[in-house]
Chains A and B, each alone.
Chain A
Amino acid sequence: MKKLTLILLTLQSMLIADINVAVSYPFIAALTKTVGGDNVEITTLAKGNWDPHFVVARPSLIRQVSRADLLIINGAGLEIGWMPPLIRQSHNRHIQPGTKGFLDLSQFVNLMNKPVAVSRANGDIHPDGNPHYSTDPYIMPTLADAIASRLALLDPDNATNYRSNANTFKEGWEKNLIRWEKAMAEVKGKKLIQYHELFNYFLKRYSLVSIGNIEPLPGINPSSRHTLELIKLMKAEKVTLILQDVYHSPKTAKYIAEKSGAKEVLMPHDVDAVHEADTLAHLYDTMVKRVTQP
């Protein structure tokens, strides 16, 4: 009898697979892997070097969402153009918004740049505020805790595991934060421009000053008039740095660099956006390095 119970128990543990987690972006995958360890199987839906707003809702992604036990998204409207069709077509009741298999990380973040007036005449704006909070490394510990709590809710047997993994991460992260803080102190108050308001959280955290964007309105391609005005403004403000994201054409940034004398750097916004940013820590290492030593 005892033997049978043992066999049944072994069988049961074999049958209970890992928790299948689908995440929208690579930085969430990195955090989830750190917290979940070997108990989670992670699928990343978007690529780190493509525009996070315009992920293609391919049927293969529908399949990945359909087998997930947990779907973790950035939120704040960043996935509005591609995640709803995936959820809708996934036929998966476990990850519908409002269920415990759906986690929107933006709810743990105080969003900045919430527009006072919302109109599409002002471009493709996010009514809830700027969704690109992942560029601020100080937000990561909070998110690690949020993911640990949710994994614990779905898999109570390993709850202590998830919590201790999150704590280990947070301890290690403190040292990283100190390192970045120290490096970034040297460029405090530095004036720059960026393509899209992609790095606002990073800039605010380290007191960098953005005086304009290459795109005239969010989601609208550069125009020559706007570019010329920007160059004039940059000269007046003595701007020395241009942050170019990895997914827009660098053509305009290169032109502005040539005309204004500012230095153009390719700035990663997510894990795997550039080759060096292969882990979460390396992402911020790369960002810090490219801003401090352009």
Chain B
Amino acid sequence: MKKLLLSATLFPLLLSAETASYTSYSSSFNQSAFVPDIALIVDGSYTHRSVSDEDMGDYALVGSELSAYNEFNENSGFNLNYAELSLHSDVDQLFTLDGVFHFNTEGVEIEEAYFTTTALPWYFQLKGGKFKSSFGRLNKQHQHVWDFADAPLVYNGFLTAEGLNHVGLQLQWLAPTPWYMMIGGELMQSGEEGSFVNESFTDTSTKQTVSASNEPALYIAYLKNSFDISDATILFGFSAAHGTTKTADESNNTVHGINGNTTIYGADLLVKNYFNSYSYISWQSEILYRDADIDNTLTKNADDYQQSGAYSQLVYAYNQNWRAGFRFDTMFQDTTAVDSHKMRNRYTVMADYSPSEFSRIRAQYAHNSAFTNTTTGQQKDIDTFILEINLAIGAHGAHNF
């Protein structure tokens, strides 16, 4: 038996020795050096809310009728928010390609898949595919870059759970000014939810059919400026998004809907001062204003409304390991509400600890008074505690400022 085993192991050895002189095919066409940068980022949390998950369904943020606001930390207890797989590489001398895939317990989503040009003249850059719009400040950033575990209320209310993230084209130009000035424009297919929902429907009472736009129906433009004063960087931007809003409202066994367009204007400001290589203080604020110019297909009346929201956050990084932050959220204008200028606020505090550049543990507490009962209209205070862990492995590219 032993002999047999020995000869069995020896046989391939002998064979390979004999054939070694001409069996070089395996490395002749080896492409492993061309493997793109691959990274996996996993984010999970333990969440505790003062309102049960069932009851949460009764409450909504004013103005969030078109959005699903809870993408992260949705359930009480443990949440696997996502496993984000990202791939990046040069395609050739003209393009780079990025793919970002969100795996969660329900399936896989193409978060982003886009090319970027590297060889356009005159400071132009073209991007195409599905990508996060550079509208505003937070929209382009992935969740793991955010200073808090969730998006500001106004993002959840006006944009989709993933923000403005559609299929389209983007052209950006860097102005040859002494300071940093970037102008960008995007043309996108509008989506399935949010302010720019674009869906065909037939009103059951009026029999009127509203067809969705077949063409790209979302236009985005922005201007960003930045300069330094000593070790402080100031970055401010203005953004606008304009697009079709068409969607059915199915209730009481009837279908009617809204048909029109929506414009969102945004302004953002970031002041970030570095005390040394690791310690900084940053103050970031954004204000968004939504102007909906829509008709109700049932009543034939104009259902126009205007809403505004803002957030302001202060984050202090003590060193490479420890950070703490405070965020104030508010929805302060809503013409659909009885008290149209009532401020509906949320207060959030967070502290996080990063053992290395590749891991971070964060504790966050929020007191939210911005939600109301969807049937009674009664305002409800909701307290949320989140313990979040974020881990990254592999080759993940450095982040933009």
Contact = CB atoms under 8 A, between A and B. Distances in A.
Interface of A: 50-51, 54-60, 62-63, 66-67, 80-85, 88-93, 96, 98, 120, 123-124, 219-221, 247, 249
Contacts of A60: 179-180, 226-228, 233
Nearest to A121: B356
Contact of A120 (B173, B178, B277, B358): B358
A162 to B, nearest CB: 27
B398 A85 contact: yes
A66 B179 contact: no
Contact of A58 (B174, B228, B393, B399): B228
B176 interface: yes
Interface in B88-144: 93, 116, 118-121, 123-125
Interface residues of B, number: 41
Interface string B350-373: 000001111000000000000000
Contacts of A63: 174, 177-180
A96 B276 CA distance: 29
B11 interface: no
A118 B201 CA distance: 57
A84 B278 contact: no
List the 7 shortest-distance A-B pairs measured between CB atoms, nearest first.
Answer: A59-B226, A51-B277, A59-B180, A63-B180, A91-B123, A93-B119, A50-B277
Given A60-B233, A89-B400, A54 B278 contact: yes
B332 interface: no
A66 B174 contact: yes
B123 A56 contact: no
B320 interface: yes
B172 interface: yes
A124 B355 CA distance: 12
B88 to A, nearest CB: 10
B356 A220 contact: yes
A90 B319 contact: no
Given A59-B180, A91-B120, A120-B393, 14 more contacts: A51-B277, A55-B277, A56-B274, A57-B400, A58-B228, A58-B401, A59-B235, A60-B180, A63-B177, A83-B398, A84-B398, A85-B398, A85-B399, A221-B321
Contacts of A221: 319-321
A221 B356 CA distance: 9
24 contacts: A50-B276, A51-B277, A56-B233, A56-B274, A56-B401, A59-B182, A60-B180, A60-B228, A63-B174, A63-B177, A81-B357, A82-B398, A83-B398, A84-B398, A85-B397, A85-B398, A91-B172, A93-B120, A96-B118, A124-B356, A219-B356, A220-B355, A221-B321, A247-B276
Given A54-B277, A91-B125, A59 B401 contact: yes
Contacts of B125: 91
A1 B320 CA distance: 67
A95 to B, nearest CB: 10
Nearest to B123: A91
Contacts of A50: 276-277
B140 to A, nearest CB: 11
Q: Which of A57, A58, A92 has the most CB of B within 10 A?
A: A58
Interface string B37-71: 00000000000000000000000000000000000
Interface in B266-297: 274, 276-278
A85 B174 contact: no
Contacts of B233: 56, 58-60
A247 B228 contact: no
A57 B226 CA distance: 12
Nearest to B121: A93
Nearest to A82: B398
A27 B173 CA distance: 32
Contacts of A98: 93
Contacts of A67: 176
